[in-house]
Structure 1
Amino acid sequence: MIKTLNPDFKTSIQEKLKQQEFMRYLGFEVTTIEEGRLEGELVLGQEHRQHMGFAHGGVIATLADIVAGLSAVTLVPKNHHVVTVELKVSYLNPGVGEKLLAKGWVLKQGSRLNFCEAEVYVTKGTNEPLLIAKASATMATIAPEAIRRED
């Protein structure tokens, strides 16, 4: 059973989002924060596309990593951190459209490792979102005292 160890997880996520420089640089916006689940979207610009006009695979993988990781953050104790241990992305369709939608969730919560999944969709006009990538990720929980910083 998935259960948060931080009853104030929404505030914790909001604080962590302020520090997500790369996410902000890409233009990714979080739209849903729930216990063990997170969603967001990215309006596709030319800078997000590869040479054939599709959403770049690196952008898609990054979104999968973000939503999977932050979904794990909703479950860990308040001052703990989450880092990616492993990420596997399967690309199912080309990302041709106007917006990417990313959904991540925790499949199995552990004391040190969280097993997560993510899906990335593309939208085009009024068509139903098309699933373009599916990811599985392992996210490690890091206690604050375990982080060594070099000065």
Structure 2
Amino acid sequence: MSDSRTLDLELARKVLGEQPFSRLLGARVTAFGDGEATLELDLREELLQQYGYAHGGVLSYAADNALTLAAGSVVGSGVITSGFTIDYLRPATGAVLRARARVVRAGRTRVVCRCDVIAVDAVGTETLCAVAQGDIAVLEPSA
């Protein structure tokens, strides 16, 4: 299902880097391709809420971008989030927030993806904090 517009890791990083909000958060693409994408960001104090947990908006941001990146790895860069749902399972604490997304089904005009949002502590232990599912609209359908 890939076409000549399918992104590679370097281009995915460039696209993310062009988003001012992603730069503000310090987000980075750490894995990309074949219908999957992983986005990470360091959990620093500015991203926490009053109880010391990562703010829900930060988890939503990570899921949203990972879902869209995963879709882009299959259908190309002309994609945008149409909608997504997120379920928060437990508070996110630790050193890094990791969002791993994968394509469930890629169609001509819409891609459905799922995402696990994971908090990683200082020794590398992962804790699942949220799950999301999204519809990604294809702005430039393949011929």
Could you tell me the TM-score, scaled by structure 2's length? 0.89
Structure 2: gaps spanning 5 or more residues: none
Residues of 2 paired with 1:143 and 1:8: CA distance? 12
Structure 1 residue runs of 5 or longer lacking an equivalent are 145-151
CA radius of gyration, larger in: 1
After TM superposition, the runs of 4+ consecutive aligned structure 1 residues lying more than 4 A away are none
What is residue 142 of structure 1 aligned with on the other side?
139
Counterparts of 1:62 and 1:4 in 2: how far apart (Å)? 26
2:6/2:75 contact within 8 Å kept: no
How far residue 12 of structure 1 moved from its aligned partner, in angstroms, is 4.1
Q: In 2, distance between residues paired with 1:12 and 1:57?
A: 28
2:7 maps to which residue?
9
Whole-Å separation in 1 of the counterparts to 2:11 and 2:2: 12
Q: 1:141 to 1:49 in 2, by over 3 A?
A: same
- TM-score w.r.t. the length of structure 1 is 0.85
1:139 deviation in Å? Answer: 0.3
For residue 17 of structure 1, report the CA deviation from its aligned partner.
2.5
CA distance in 2, matches of 1:134, 1:59: 13
Aligned length: 140
1:1-151 matched pairs, under 5 angstroms: 3-6=1-4, 9-10=7-8, 12-77=11-76, 81-126=78-123, 128-143=125-140
Q: How big is each residue's C-alpha offset from its partner over 1:62-112, in whole Å with a ceiling of 9 and x where there is no partner? A: 0000000011111124xx511111110000010111111110111100000
